[in-house]
Amino acid sequence: MGVVISDNLSRDKMAKFLNKVVNKQRNNEKAYQLLLKADALRVKNYFWEAISEYLNALEYDNKNIEIYIGLGLAYKQIGYAKSAINAFNKAKKFNAFNKELYFEAGCCYCIDFMFSKAIKEFKNALKICPDFPEAKFNLALSYELNNQNSMAVKEYKKMIRENPHHLKSYNNLGSLYMKLDFYKPAIGIFSELLRLNPDFARVYLGIAICFDKVKEKSKALRYYRKYLKYNPNSENLAYILERIEELKKDRALPKKCHLMLVS
């Protein structure tokens, strides 16, 4: 006697499968609509509202990389660095070769004063894309903030060598040299920066202080005056005017210049 096999089981399996497909499509569509709304809110700087919509979107689709990226960016904007990093790390699971995810995570680690971890993230971004200027600059800055000054100098120099018009690298390197009391190298870097951008007011003050430190009075006087020409309302105005008068009268230079380079 032959065995009769009902095809009801096959029909039930097919029905369940189709039902899952339809529900998934509906969930994905709902998640997409919430994602669009969240992105629009974020662009308009409504970050808390955007975060709420991103989280709602994840309820429908927790495998959408764009939702995690948007969520991370929104958290970053309100200073919730740890939450942002968590979102970017989840996004990495869906695309481990997206340089921006490592870059953004690195920026968030900097916000959270975790510079060693920031360095690691920027290095990972550069492994994926060696020609990533923002990551190169932030790597140098992270070294500096982490008090790895020799590495910071090396990276700033490398950045300048590869991109001779990257003004921020000149400015940061010159300022770092000043912090390390390397005044003559700082003068050289600042002078090159002024050649590229003569209107960079802050640099005139940097050069003035450096010349003051190495006791080249006439040059210091000249650059203090140039700085005031570009920035007559400086917050250090009173101190600069006092120092100019001292230099004009050819007084003995103080052992320590009381001026600091300000933004």
d(CA 207, CA 117): 34
Whether residue 179 lies inside any domain: the answer is: yes
- Tell me the C-alpha distance between 164 and 81, whole Å: 33
Residue 23 has a pLDDT of: 62
Name the pTM for this structure. Answer: 0.83
Last residue of a domain, one of 46, 63, 96: 96
Q: What is the pLDDT of residue 6?
A: 54
Q: According to the model, what pLDDT value does residue 263 have?
A: 41
Q: What is the mean pLDDT of each run of 10 residues along the chain (263 residues)?
A: 56 58 74 96 97 96 96 98 98 97 98 98 98 97 98 98 96 98 98 96 96 94 95 91 88 53 48
Domain contains 128: no
Question: Does 191 reside within a domain?
Answer: yes
pLDDT for the residue 41: 97
86 domain-assigned? yes
Domain assignment present for residue 117? The answer is: no
Domain count, the chain: 2
User: Is 51 within the bounds of a domain?
Assistant: yes
Other CB atoms within a 10 A radius of the CB of residue 77 amount to 15
Separation between Cα atoms, residue 225 and residue 63, nearest integer Å? 60
The beta-strand segments (E) located in 168-257 are none
For residues 177 and 185, give the distance between their C-alpha atoms in angstroms, rounded to a whole number.
7
Task: Assign residue 113 a region (left: φ > 0; alpha: ψ between -120 and 50; beta: otherwise).
Answer: left
User: Which structural domain range is residue 68 located in?
Assistant: 17-96
Q: Which of 53, 73, 96 is the last residue of a domain?
A: 96
**In-domain check, residue 2:** no
Q: Provide the token pair at 226.
A: 């140039």
| Residue 133 covered by a domain | no
Could you tell me the CATH number of the domain that includes residue 24? 1.25.40.10
- Check whether residue 177 and residue 261 sit in a common domain: yes
The pLDDT of residue 25 is 79
pLDDT value, residue 257: 56
